[in-house]
Structure 1
Amino acid sequence: MRTMQQWFDEYGQSHQNHTNKLIHWICVPLIFFSIVGLLASIPSGALKEPFPPQLQPYAHFGTVVVLLGLLFYLRLSFLMFLGMAVVCTLVLLGVRAVDATAEAPLWLICLVIFVLAWIGQFYGHKVEGKKPSFFKDLQFLLIGPAWLLGFIYRKLGIPY
């Protein structure tokens, strides 16, 4: 099993160009948000029923996928798991806020964000001259957000 640093090192091989890195700082969080939002848009009445009314807006397939992703991070690094748990909580709160306040349906907003952010990602990789890492291993889709958090951790001197 690879360590968090080994994942980051391999992911970083196709993320050396400054423009590509900058695009990733914008597009990776947007893609993460949009995927959770798209999954939250799937009708999930049966998931909501066991929860009290104040938690029901968070009982959806987006939350299920977030929890599974958090298990992936926990396997690699407890401190990265904690940071990603904060990030995931913010994403879930953001999805709920957009769903509660936007005039357009959540799925439509997230679909537009998803498409535009992926266009940005592929442009960044065109500039980089290397294929996105997830073409090699789908697990890199989970590494992208953690890779960004890893930069913040290093700036703050937090080990992972």
Structure 2
Amino acid sequence: MRKIDQLFAEYAESHQNQTNKLIHWICVPLIFFTIVGFISLIPAPHFCASYYGCISIASIVALVLVSIFYFSLSWRISIIMLFIMFLMEHLAYAINIHFNSNSWIVFLSIFVITWIFQFVGHKIEGKKPSFLKDLQFLLIGPIWLLHFVLKKLGIKY
């Protein structure tokens, strides 16, 4: 069994309840987005591109490191997640421009609310979140959801 399949199987053990799954479908992408948003606030030089906006060196470094981890599991998932992360970065940039120095409040509010829902989901499930056993599961959650989409589309991951 491939490492990614083992990680998905282990992650799935604590995500069997339909309510918990629904909560994860909403909250995991939002939590991932808020992390991208927080990283975008790190003071660092930025690169700007027409029609995209600006991206900081801190964000680029984070995207590269996460992509390397994902690439070690699946090159297809890595490419798709890189695209998703760039979209999230673009949205985070728009929020940073719109809310100026208060954008951190937007990211923090979403982060706290979604984590509350995540823990409620796990309370309903009756199992602890996977990341409490192994921190890498914080990065597995988003691709666990993505793998369902890819399966539905008939795309091997």
Q: Confirm or deny that 1:141 pairs with 2:112.
A: no
Q: Which whole-Å CA distance do the structure 2 matches of 1:56 and 1:116 have between them?
A: 28
Structure with the higher fraction of residues in strand conformation: 2
Q: Is the 8 A contact 2:77 2:143 kept in 1?
A: yes
Residues 75 and 92 of structure 1, relative CA distance in 2, 3 Å threshold: same
Alignment correspondent of 2:73: 76
Q: Is the 8 A contact 1:17 1:128 kept in 2?
A: yes
Q: Is the 8 A contact 1:30 1:113 kept in 2?
A: yes
Shift of 1:64: 2.0
Residues 62 and 114 of structure 1, relative CA distance in 2, 3 Å threshold: farther
Percent identity of paired positions between Structure 1 and Structure 2: 50
| Aligned Cα root-mean-square deviation (Å) | 1.9
Alignment correspondent of 1:123: 120
Q: Which runs of 5+ in 2 are unaligned?
A: none
Q: Which whole-Å CA distance do the structure 2 matches of 1:155 and 1:2 have between them?
A: 20
Q: Which whole-Å CA distance do the structure 2 matches of 1:130 and 1:63 have between them?
A: 35
Q: Which whole-Å CA distance do the structure 1 matches of 2:57 and 2:114 have between them?
A: 23
Alignment correspondent of 2:10: 10
- Please show how residues 45-60 of structure 1 align to structure 2 within 5 Å: 47-48=45-46, 51=47, 53-54=48-49, 57-60=54-57
1:61-108 Cα deviation digits (max 9, x unpaired): 233222211100101111111111121111111111211223662211
TM-score by length of 1: 0.89
What is the letter of the counterpart of residue 128 of structure 2?
K
Alignment correspondent of 1:99: 96
Q: Is the 8 A contact 2:131 2:137 kept in 1?
A: yes
Shift of 1:2: 5.7
